Structures are given as C-alpha cells and as structure tokens.
Amino acid sequence: MRALAALVGIVAAFAGSYLAFGFVQSVGPDNRIGEFGYGDAATRPPDGGSLIESDNFARVVAALERELGAEGAVQSLSVELFVANAIAQRNGGLRYVEVDASGRSRARDGDRADPAGLVPVARIDPAAIDRIVGKTGPDIERLTLQGGTREWNVDMRSGEPDAYVANLDGSGVRLPGEPNPEPVGAGPDSLLRAKNLERVLAAARKEGTKVLALDVRPDRVSIELDANGRTLSLAYGYDAQLTSRDIRASTGVPVKPVDIDRIDPTAIERMARTSRRAVDSKGLADVQYALLSLDPRGWSLYLAQGSDPPYVVANLRGRGLTWPGRG
C-alpha cells in the first residue's frame, strides 16, 4: 500500500508540474498567444469572416497607418483570407509589412527604394472591398493593389472568369484587358487635368527646362529633357510621383526643345472642352492621351477609340483647334 501511495504521489506531482508548465507557457514570458501569427486571432478575425470583408479589412488599413505613419504609402498590397502583405516606402527605403487576421502587424526595413508609383494609405478605402465582392461574388482567393495603376487585381478561387480588375475605390469591376467603364480621363486624379499636370511640370522643372518630348495620359506622364546634350527621360505617376529616371546619349536629328515655362498645363483641358462642342466628344472622359509636338509646336489630343476624327490638334495654349481633313 505504501508503494502504491508513493506511486500515486509521484504521478500527481508529475501531473501538477506538467499543468504548471502549461500555465506558465500560456501566461508567462514564453507565451506567444498575443504575437503576430500565433493563436486563433492569426487564423480568423475576432468577429469571424476574413480580411476580404470591409469591416475586417479596416484592421489592415489601421495596421499600415501604424507601421508607416500618417503619410505612409504602399507600392503594392496583397490581401488573402487571413493575412495581408505590403511593400511600402518610407524615408527613401523599402519597408515590408505583414498583417494577420486580427490586425496585428510586424515590419522590417529593406534596401533603398527605387522610384515607383505609390498609393497613400489614406486613399485605401475599406468599403472598396465590399464593392468588389458585390460584383465578383465572395469566392476570392487574393486581392492585389498596385501602386502604379492604383487598381485592384482580383484572383478567384474557382470558376470562370478567374480574374477581374477594379479601380482603387472598388468601382469599374471588369475583366483584364477590358476598357475601364469609369471616365478615368476626367477623374479627379487624372494627369490630364491642369492642376495635376502642373504638379508634374513643377517636379520636372527641377531636373531641367528644355523639353524634347511630352506624353500625357490619365495615369502617367513621360517627359524627355535636354541635359547638356544628353537626353533625360522621366516618368511620373499619380500625385506627380517620380516612377522612373534614365539618362542616355542623344540620337537622331537634333530638335529645338520647348522651354518648359511655355507649356500651359491648362491647354489639354481647353482642347477637351472645345472638342466636346466641335466633334461631339465627351471632353476629358474621351481623351486617351496628349502629345506635345515640336514641329509645328502644339498639342495633339487623341480621342477614344472609334472617334471621328481620331485626334485633334491645337497650339501650345490649346487654342485654334482643328483636325486632319477639316475644311
């Protein structure tokens, strides 16, 4: 009996030690339940569902604001059911941010960042997620936001179609390659608009003043400047963000550049307004792109596919609108 009692005591002591160890693991210094990627909160939001729902996606936006600051911006953002990953830029360097299902986050800094299109975190609206789901259905595997285009790429788990594209605010859901049903050229962020183009020209003026080429589109501007006999090529995205910079030897027949101060940022809008009346266009909503011409000096404004005429021309101020074949 004494041997049996001793054995029971040993078993009880061992069990007690094991339970105590488990308790220390759950509440003591080795507890990881509250850390990123651990516990139930890592695999499902506190209120259920997934991150591909506006209410839960709001936790991702809050985490990005926390990790990047009030002026933070992302280069890309990938959102899956229970985890989100962002590549961001801060203080000239890359910053990688991970967010789990509960909104907990961790971040690390990377190498120096190259110029790239960015989306301010303040512009990412959680309500966009439900707008997208309302059009595609809930069977989404992954949402990916690209800073350069400010569009969501939507990958579906099954069925056809298996992919969609949507605008930053969740509108304009369409198949890849289809035209955007929203009037991007006339949108508030459009670089065809005078106030936005003016910001691009101001940024480019810091690099040089002799313009060799200028291509203006709703989402990007390409400009070439003379840099002491070489050609400096710059590309800008939304918010006048520099997205690429390249300098090379000049080739071909020399051309006389246009001084950047002679380029009127209101010219494109003026041409679009006139074309609305003259050729029955929809104004900026119908503009695909505008090209600066050096000889003769002026603008060529290319209209939506199928327009007649396909493009119109005007002087540097956007006045004297005409088109090929006009009597």
The string of DSSP letters for 51-96 reads SSSHHHHHHHHHHHHHHH-TT-EEEEEEE-SSEEEEEEEETTEEEE
CA distance 292 to 313: 10
Find where tokens 């939001």 sit. 45
**Confidence band, pLDDT 50/70/90 cuts, at residue 32:** low
pLDDT, one tens digit per residue, over 241-262 is 999 999 999 887 678 999 999 9
Instruction: Return the SS3 of 261.
Output: helix
Is 225 within 8 Å of 211 (Cβ atoms)?
yes
Q: What angle do CA 241, 305, 296 make, to 5 degrees?
A: 70
Predicted local confidence at residue 30, as pLDDT: 57
Token duo for residue 220? 């990007």
> Pick the residue with more confidence: 17 or 326?
326
CA distance 27 to 209: 65
Distances (CA, A) of 272 to 79, 113, 221, 281, 314: 38, 37, 17, 8, 11
pLDDT for residue 15 is more than 60 = no
pLDDT for residue 323 is more than 90 = yes
Q: How many CB atoms lie within 10 A of CB 61?
A: 18
Predicted local confidence at residue 261, as pLDDT: 97
Predicted local confidence at residue 155, as pLDDT: 98
The arithmetic mean of pLDDT across residues 175-199, rounded, is 95
Instruction: For strands 83-90 and 93-100, give the pairing.
Output: antiparallel
pLDDT, one tens digit per residue, over 207-219 is 999 999 999 999 9
pLDDT, one tens digit per residue, over 274-290 is 999 889 889 999 999 99
CA distance 250 to 232: 9
Whole-structure pTM value: 0.84
pLDDT for residue 18 is more than 70 = no
Instruction: Return the SS3 of 209.
Output: coil
The arithmetic mean of pLDDT across residues 168-183, rounded, is 95
**Confidence band, pLDDT 50/70/90 cuts, at residue 205:** very high
pLDDT, one tens digit per residue, over 71-119 is 899 999 999 999 999 999 988 899 999 999 999 999 999 999 999 999 9
Predicted local confidence at residue 14, as pLDDT: 35
**Confidence band, pLDDT 50/70/90 cuts, at residue 39:** confident
Predicted local confidence at residue 60, as pLDDT: 97
pLDDT, one tens digit per residue, over 291-317 is 999 999 999 999 998 899 999 999 999
Token duo for residue 264? 């009127």
Cis bond before residue 296 (omega within 30° of 0): yes
pLDDT averaged over every residue in the chain: 89
Per-domain boundaries in the chain: 35-179, 194-314
Predicted local confidence at residue 5, as pLDDT: 43
